[in-house]
Chain A
């Protein structure tokens, strides 16, 4: 197979139905259909609603990706799909679709890890990943620090949230402040008008010597602070609360990410996941990495959120590495460990 394999990537681990096409490290198409609008009134992603939307979107999204890329299905070298982790019923739609596509075209199938794909996608924008690098992945579903000697095979978990994901904390704080779901964008907008130092919210586990996170206590602290104001009959300074909450999240995430790099002698940090679109996290990560002599790599927001291009990017790296494909009987594994980059 060529050094620049043409790969279709399929992603359905949460609420985005994604189909991406890459040639080596060149992005040709990134088609995404989101069911987020259908979840908003429930204040969170409803798995069955997401799964139904994946079924309806799957063929149109794949067709759209091929149309955008201007390549024929018969020309692709391989199909990669998120095999886990994620919502079980949602993953199953993508895995079944990828198998059917692989079988229909007679092409090899690669069942890959969603978290590793979040790291691999940066290659589409910033070129080959330095080996090793550290990755900070933050979204509504994950908050992880990874040591990545080789994104196609060796990914070592360094730390993760022990309770809520960072994005979940955003959603819950947004509800307390009367903002819509998902909470990331409205909090980020409100925070621009506020003072991040106005309220000193707790930074859990900051000095505990681990690379784990905890955001449940922060969310409760924000709710308690807001309730105290309301109980006292005082107005809630929404912008200051948003900015101070966001500061606490970004502070812990960036400090621990820099600490992870220092602990492993790594000079490159990749940030990914939906929360990587957050303006304060990006700014603080840039400052702290510059101060610590760490090169920071953050893909553009559209590649940070879940999409098929990231799966295709990881698939292309795996194909280039000459690894054998997955058999047609692989399961969708909702709790696939990050150490398992390729399911066999």
Chain B
């Protein structure tokens, strides 16, 4: 049995799939409580399906992109479960999970990246052909004006033509996607873009951190030659400069 989970957006979503269908699922939207909600949701979903942890054969986890703290809750949970149960852990791009529930020929998926930015990617019938990226909505090239789905598109409604689709990834869909890919591994057919990824987070941003300059003077008045020997402009931030 395949356990699917995703914490890359405000939705904490968990589902169990037996290779043919989804047996149980649970989704709660609360962007501040991923670490509290996820483990009980896993426990509930297995109990509801009458399954035991020993029945699990693989785990699929949304690897984002998404706000880091919540995203890591899903990844560390999946990795630890995989290690403790001795089963493989597969990553799936969380934007691909949203895209799998969209019935449009070409579209854009955008989720909220905070700081007035969105995580986004473009899709056609064969899957994701651009992204994932992180950008300000106004900076995204909207040639062709693709319909856009996801919470990020909804949040910046004026900037994206609306498309019909979910706001957040659903673990049930993640399971179906991963189960189909796992089945395909044994019967590769038409070339299709890779869906299964390593269980490694797609942060897309470097940590905010600034290398300090020389220590600031604490003494108010100082002879000019001493003042020049200290201070100086702060080092450039290795982060994204925001």
Contact = CB atoms under 8 A, between A and B. Distances in A.
Interface of A: 41-43, 46, 48-49, 51-52, 54-55, 58-59, 62-63, 73, 88-89, 92-93, 95-97, 99-106, 172, 175-176, 220, 223-224, 227-228, 230-231, 327-332
Contacts of A54: 72, 76
A89 B72 contact: yes
Q: Please name the 6 residue pairs, one residue from A and one from B, whose CB atoms are nearest each other, closest first.
A: A104-B84, A48-B207, A99-B39, A100-B80, A46-B209, A223-B218
Contacts of B38: 96, 99
Interface string B118-142: 0000000000000000000000000
B73 A230 contact: no
Given A73-B84, A89-B72, 5 more contacts: A51-B69, A59-B80, A101-B84, A176-B215, A224-B218
A96 B73 contact: yes
Contacts of A42: 209-212
Contact of A103 (B34, B53, B212, B229): B53
B79 A227 contact: no
Chain B, interface residues (CB within 8 Å), range: 35 or more
Contact of B209 (A48, A63, A228, A332): A48
A43 B83 contact: no
Nearest to A327: B40
A227 B219 contact: yes
Q: Which of A48, A63, A73, A330 has most B Cβ within 10 Å?
A: A48
A96 B69 contact: no
B211 A41 contact: yes
B72 to A, nearest CB: 5
B4 interface: no
A153 to B, nearest CB: 24
Given A42-B210, A227-B217, A330-B36, A97 B68 contact: no
A230 B222 CA distance: 10
B58 interface: no
Contact of B226 (A97, A100, A231, A330): A231
Contacts of B79: 55, 58-59
Contacts of B37: 329
11 contacts: A41-B211, A42-B209, A51-B68, A52-B203, A92-B35, A93-B73, A100-B76, A100-B81, A105-B84, A176-B215, A231-B223
A212 B240 CA distance: 40
Interface string B23-66: 00000000001111111101100000000010000000000000
B201 interface: yes
A138 B216 CA distance: 26
Nearest to A223: B218
B80 A58 contact: yes
Which DSSP category, helix, strand, loop or mixed, fits chain B's interface? helix
Interface string B180-222: 0000000000000000000001010001111110010111001
Given A55-B75, A331-B36, A97 B69 contact: no
Nearest to A104: B84
A231 B219 contact: yes
Q: Which of B37, B43, B219 has most A Cβ within 10 Å?
A: B219
Contact of B76 (A96, A104, A224, A231): A96
A195 B217 CA distance: 25
Contacts of A52: 68, 72, 201, 203, 207
A315 to B, nearest CB: 17
B19 to A, nearest CB: 21
Contacts of B208: 46, 48
Contacts of A96: 34-35, 38-39, 72-73, 76-77, 80
Contacts of B207: 46, 48-49, 52
Contacts of A73: 84
Contacts of A106: 53
A72 B38 CA distance: 26
A57 to B, nearest CB: 10
A19 B83 CA distance: 15
B159 interface: no
B72 A331 contact: no
Interface in B62-106: 68-69, 72-73, 75-81, 83-85
A220 B218 contact: yes
A199 to B, nearest CB: 16
Contacts of B217: 223, 227
A63 B78 CA distance: 15
A227 B80 contact: no
B211 to A, nearest CB: 6
A223 B223 CA distance: 16
A62 to B, nearest CB: 7
